[in-house]
Chains A and B, each alone.
Chain A
Amino acid sequence: MKAVFRIVIFSFLLYSQSNSAQQNYTPFEKEIIAKSKTIVGNPDFTKAQHFFLQKEWDSCFVYTMKQLSVGKQPEKIQNFCHFFRGFGFKEKKLFKESKKEFQLITTDFQFHNHIQMFLGEIALEEKRFNEAVNYFTEIEQLHPNLLLGIKKSSVKHNLGLCYLHLEKYDTAERYLREGLQLEEAQNDTVALVGTYGDMATLYYDQYKDKLAIPYFEKAYQLSKKVKNYQLKQNAALNMAVVEENRNDYAKALTYRKEYEQWKDSLNDQNKVWEVAELEKQFTVKQKQKEVSLLKAENKIKIAERNGLLYSAIVLFVLLGTAVYFYREKTKKNKIISAQKEALSELNATKDKLFSIVSHDLRSAVNAMKISNARLLENVAAKNLDELDSLLQRNSAIANSTYNLLDNLLHWALLQTKQSYFEITTIRLYHCVEQMVYNYRPLLFEKNLVFENTISRNDIVCADQESLKIILRNFIDNAIKFSKENGIIKMYTQNTDEKYCTLLIEDNGIGMSTALQTALLQETRLLSKTDNEAISGTGLGMQLCKSLIQKNGGKLDLKSEVGKGTKIIVSLIKKQPNG
């Protein structure tokens, strides 16, 4: 009978201990966390601690073993590891192993008292009650501050139990009562049920049934409020035994039945838990699968998205380059067409120039031919008076034709850039004098007055030959378009800092505004309409314009029909410093 009680009580006690740590963290666990917080940077240890707190002992063993096998460790870590292992073994009821582990821990370890407590519990489990009493008494005498989460009530309770087993009922009663008081104060229902049960057992063992039965009943009543089936079962069984002993079999039977019921429900519950656990695992697996599936899907999606993005970028780049090349091409085409237009225009001009020049040449040569024929006639007739004038005319025709050809040559050279060109400093006065020298006979013939009032100190920067061509043409034109007894003036104006302005002024026939603009226009040749007799092709003008440009100068002209023309040529002045 007693054996039944005892076994029931033992298992109940231990169960309550391990069970009491189910929710959140007990003060003991909090202490563990707090004390082991200082250990960082050891992933194995961290894991071991985690599993310890989760009560997954096997995993905890693995990681503590790993941590310990790494080699030399700080003592603290070693102690913790052994502590975790000892605790785990104890919970798994491998007491020998547990003891071994606890013995490996140094005595200065923070949880030394706990170890004492655990060793005591182990001794209790192994029915070495005297030894257990020693351990517990030691702890009981400790200052409460050093307990670190050890429940004083548990200590008292355990002591009580020890004495109970040692059949020292007085002492046992004393301890149990103290424990009871503390538990009542803490309102620890689960512990209370146990203690009531133990108290009842204490009295019952002493055959103090009257004292025992209320405790049994109390325990039973209280156990109804508890959800712990083991407790309920034990309480019911105890009641059944009590009733049996009282020969109240009917009641005993009900208690027995209740006991059976609790036992079943405990089993059921265990099964339910197992099933729930399995289901949980299953769902977890399912979830895991889903998660991995989703992950895979995500990966695919990301890959797809990236692929799309890259292809979009590539396409965009391609489009960009295509647009760029297209634009380049259109630009080029535009330029090409513009060039083509300009070229064809130039070509047309050239053709026109050719026809005009050849026409001019033909008429000049023709005039010479006719003149020569007349010359021959006169020579044959010995009409010597005529000869002089005819020769004069021939010479004039030859001269103008030569000028035309000369301009044509220079124009061609300028177009092909074959001519020598070197900018030097030139004294304008002397250059003009040299050029006018050739025209003295013509000036004389037309009875023109020529005034060169250019300062001898006017020095310009130009290519000598091109300057000569320019001057020749303008002087030639001035003479050509002057009336008899006219005046041709050449002078300079030095109003500009950069340019020296040369003016060639005549009081000849002048030209219309339209003609002036036409002359100043780019690549423009004149048709022979205005002055059929004396006007040229405009080739000379064109040549001068190009040459002045090449010399860095500017050309302008002012003219009025019937009053004369003023040609304004701006040439770069020689700067004082060079």
Chain B
Amino acid sequence: MDNVNILIIEDTPAESEALIKVLKAHNYTITGVATSHKEALTLFYNTKVDIVIIDIFLNGLPDGLAFAENISVVPNAAKPFVFLTSSTDRQIFERAKLTNPFSYLIKPFNELELLYALELAVEKFYNQHEVFLGEEENTVVSQDYLFIKKGKSLKKVEISDIIYIEVEEKYCSIITETEKFVILISLTKILELFDSHIFCRTHRNFIVNTKKITEIIPIDNLVLLKGDHKVILSDKYKDSIMQRYILK
């Protein structure tokens, strides 16, 4: 599991330092601190960012808002972001609201509020509501990553690293080349959100990354995967797997 990368756009050093301190304490990686609109754009496009924290007012101007507006209109570039502001000025809020989806945090805030705002931003951005706060699930699926709530903070796992997933009731064991962990996510959600060209079911309880398959042994009803992992191939899914494999 990797840390989640955060870009901070904040012109007051004291506040950005306080933010960094809290975020680091909860295993977030800070990819940079921008103090102006321009700097923010440079950092945003040149580093791998998962979440952006934006102070609406930079040097007295609503440049943070301008930045958010800027990135949210670029297709595929947009990332989840959280607004920071010290006022609940209605006009500013009405404008900020247009950069839908948006989550905000009113200063002063405590660390719980900050962490919650980050989680909310991810949920809202990937349109998977009520994940991190509920008791049923703890994972949000994006295009490339799984965002998993671990303790008070978020972690991410690159989806292409996953070898296979084993489903046991509402739990899912994720097996990557280096680690194995359990997340809370429903099978339907996985099937719905994972790329079906890459991930397919071999068994009622197994979903396999087809790129990690090394061998299929139909006689033994087995699929051999990278890292010497073995997965059961049931009759129900045998045909579709075989077909896909042969076509390749």
User: Do A and B belong to a common assembly?
Assistant: yes
When distances are taken between beta carbons in the complex, the residues of chain A under 8 Å from B239 are none
Q: Are A437 and B90 in contact (CB under 8 A)?
A: no
Is B112 in contact with A420, judged by CB distance below 8 angstroms?
no
- Encode contact with B along A464-492: 1 for CB under 8 Å, 0 otherwise: 01001000000000000000000000000
> How many pairs of residues, A versus B, come closer than 8 Å at their CB atoms?
39
Q: Once the chains bind, are A437 and B89 in contact (CB under 8 Å)?
A: no
Please tell me if the beta carbons of B110 and A420 are within 8 angstroms of each other in the complex: no
1/0 contact string of B177-211 vs chain A (CB within 8 Å)? 00000000000000000000000000000000000
- In Å, the complex CA distance between A437 and B106 comes to 15
Interchain CB contact under 8 A, B116 and A434: yes
Q: Are A434 and B134 in contact (CB under 8 A)?
A: no
Binary per-residue interface labels of chain B (87-124) against chain A in the complex, 1 for a CB within 8 Å, 0 otherwise: 01110111001000000001000111100100000000
In the complex the two chains form, is A433's CB within 8 Å of B135's CB?
no
Contact yes or no, A418 B111, CB < 8 A: no
Q: How far is the CB of A140 from chain B (nearest CB, A)?
A: 123
| CB-defined contacts of B130 to chain A, threshold 8 Å | 427, 459
Nearest-CB residue, chain B, relative to A406: B108
Q: From B90, B133, B134, give the contact of A419 (CB < 8 A).
A: B90
B contact residues around A457 at 8 Å (CB): 134-135
B residues near A421, Cβ cutoff 8 Å = 90
Say which residue of A420, A433, A438 sits within 8 Å of B88 (CB atoms).
A420
The reply to whether B134 and A430 contact each other, CB–CB distance below 8 Å, is: no
In B106-156, the 8 Å CB interface with A consists of 106, 110-113, 116, 130, 133-135
Q: Which residues of A contact B111 (CB under 8 A)?
A: 437
Residues on B with beta carbons closer than 8 Å to the beta carbon of A429: 133
Given contacts A420-B89, A420-B90, A420-B93, A430 and B133 within 8 Å (CB-CB): yes
Contact A465 B90 (CB under 8 A): no
CB-CB contacts of B54-85 with A at 8 A, as 1s and 0s? 00000000000000000000000000000000
Shortest CB distance A248–B (Å): 145
Quick check: B90 and A434 within 8 Å, CB to CB? no
CA distance A413 to B135 in the complex (A): 36
Contact (Cβ within 8 A) B133 A456 = yes
Q: How far is the CA of A170 from the CA of B111 in the complex (A)?
A: 161
Report how far A397 CA is from B224 CA in the complex, Å.
Answer: 67
Q: Contact between B88 and A419 (Cβ–Cβ < 8 Å)?
A: yes
A449 to chain B, nearest CB (A): 19
Chain B interface size, as a band, is 10 to 19
B97 surroundings in chain A (CB, below 8 A): 422
A420 to B90, CA, bound (A): 4
Chain A residues near B93: list those with CB within 8 A. Answer: 420, 422
A437 and B112 contact, Cβ closer than 8 Å, known pairs A456-B133, A456-B135, A457-B135: yes
Q: How far is the CA of A457 from the CA of B89 in the complex (A)?
A: 31
Residues of A401-443 whose CB lies within 8 A of B: 413, 418-422, 427, 429-430, 433-434, 437-438
CA distance A299 to B130 in the complex (A): 90
Cβ contact within 8 Å between B133 and A434 = no
The complex places the Cα of A419 from the Cα of B92 at a distance, in Å, of: 10
Task: List, in ascending order, chain B residues with CB within 8 A of A413's CB.
Answer: 88
Of the candidates A418, A420, A421, A468, the one having the most CB atoms from chain B within 10 angstroms of its own CB is A420
Beta-carbon nearest neighbor of A440 in chain B: B110
B94/A420 in contact, CB under 8 A: yes
Chain A residues positioned under 8 Å from B113 (CB to CB): 434, 437
Taking a contact as CB atoms under 8 Å apart, the answer to whether A434 and B110 are in contact is: yes
A434 contacts across to B, CB distance below 8 A: 110, 112-113, 116
Q: How far is the CB of B95 from chain A (nearest CB, A)?
A: 11
Please give the distance in Å from A398's CB to the nearest CB on chain B: 12
Q: Kindly list chain B residues whose C-beta atoms are within 8 Å of the C-beta of A438.
A: 110
Q: With a CB–CB cut-off of 8 A, which chain B residues contact A465?
A: 88, 106
A418 touches B90 (CB 8 A): yes
Q: In whole angstroms, how far apart are the Cα atoms of A413 and B111 in the complex?
A: 26
Nearest to B94 among chain A residues (CB) is: A420
Note all chain B residues with C-beta closer than 8 A to A427: 130, 133-134
> How far, in whole Å, are A429 and B97 apart by their CA atoms in the complex?
25
* Separation of A389 and B203 alpha carbons in the complex (Å): 65
Per the bound structure, the CA–CA distance linking A465 and B87 in Å amounts to 11
Q: Knowing A437-B110, A437-B112 touch, does A418 contact B89 (C-beta < 8 A)? A: yes
**Minimum C-beta distance from A475 to chain B (A):** 13
Interfacial chain A residues near B92, Cβ < 8 Å:
420
Residue from B94, B106, B112 having most chain A Cβ neighbours under 10 A: B112
Question: Closest A-chain residue to B106, C-beta based?
Answer: A465
B90 touches A433 (CB 8 A): no
Q: Contact at B112–A433, with CB atoms within 8 Å?
A: yes
Beyond A456-B133, A465-B106, whether A430 also contacts B116 by CB under 8 A is: yes
* A438 CA / B112 CA spacing, docked (Å): 9
Shortest CB distance B118–A (Å): 13
Chain A proximity of B199: nearest CB distance (Å): 30
B119–chain A nearest beta-carbon distance, Å = 9
The interface residues of chain B lying within 8 Å CB-to-CB of A420 are 88-90, 92-94
Residues of A within 8 A of B134 (CB): 427, 456-457
- Which of chain A's residues have a CB closer than 8 A to the CB of B110? 434, 437-438
CA distance A446 to B26 in the complex (A): 28
CA distance A438 to B93 in the complex (A): 25
Cβ distance A47 to chain B, nearest Cβ, rounded Å: 92
Bound-state CA distance A392–B63 (Å) is: 38
B116: chain A residues at CB < 8 Å are 430, 434
Smallest beta-carbon distance B150→chain A, Å: 17
Q: How far is the CA of A429 from the CA of B90 in the complex (A)?
A: 27
State A450–B210 Cα separation when bound (angstroms).
Answer: 51
**In the complex, what residues of A have CB within 8 A of residue B88's CB?**
413, 419-420, 465
**Separation of A459 and B130 alpha carbons in the complex (Å):** 10
Query: What chain A residues lie within 8 Å of B106 (beta carbons)?
Result: 465, 468
Give chain A nearest CB distance to B73 CB in angstroms: 22
Give the CA-CA distance A427 to B92 in the complex, in Å. 25
- Give the CA-CA distance A16 to B134 in the complex, in Å: 133
A413 to B106, CA, bound (A): 15
**A-B contact list, 12 entries, CB within 8 Å:** A418-B89, A419-B90, A420-B93, A420-B94, A422-B97, A427-B133, A430-B133, A433-B112, A434-B110, A434-B113, A437-B110, A459-B130
Q: Which residues of A contact B (CB under 8 A)?
A: 413, 418-422, 427, 429-430, 433-434, 437-438, 456-457, 459, 465, 468
Known: A429-B133, A457-B135. 5 other contacts (CB 8 A): A420-B90, A420-B94, A422-B93, A434-B116, A437-B111
Closest 7 CB pairs of A and B: A420-B93, A434-B112, A437-B112, A419-B88, A420-B88, A437-B110, A427-B133
